[in-house]
Amino acid sequence: MPISYYLALSAVLFGLGVIGFVFKRNIITIFMSIELMLNAVNLAFIAFARALGQLQGQIFVFFVIVVAAAEAAVGLAIVIVIARNRQSLNVERINLLKL
């Protein structure tokens, strides 16, 4: 079966991640949308690695996963601080910088 099926699926998942990022109001769910986008990109990397017969794509996925883990740890710490200070997880209430 052609690689393009995987790439089309990756595009759909990435687009759904973008839609979630734009439409959701809960800051934790927005973070989950980012993770969804990273996963979609990982699928594209693996599909291309298979199509080109090389392993570098898989190495890149490895690094993406590591960076995603670090990002999740720091991001969720920020979420905890925001929730403690604002008593809300709604991004529309987090508007101190808004004019």
User: Which residues are at the interface with other proteins (CB under 8 A)?
Assistant: 1-13, 15-17, 19-20, 23-26, 28-29, 31-33, 35-36, 39, 42-43, 46-47, 49-53, 55-56, 58-59, 61-63, 65-74, 76-81, 83-87, 89-90, 96
Nearer to other proteins, 13 or 99 (CB): 13
Long-range CB contacts (within 8 A, 24+) of 73-81: 75/31, 76/28, 76/31, 79/27, 79/28, 79/31
Contact 47, 3 (CB under 8 A): yes
Nearer to other proteins, 61 or 98 (CB): 61
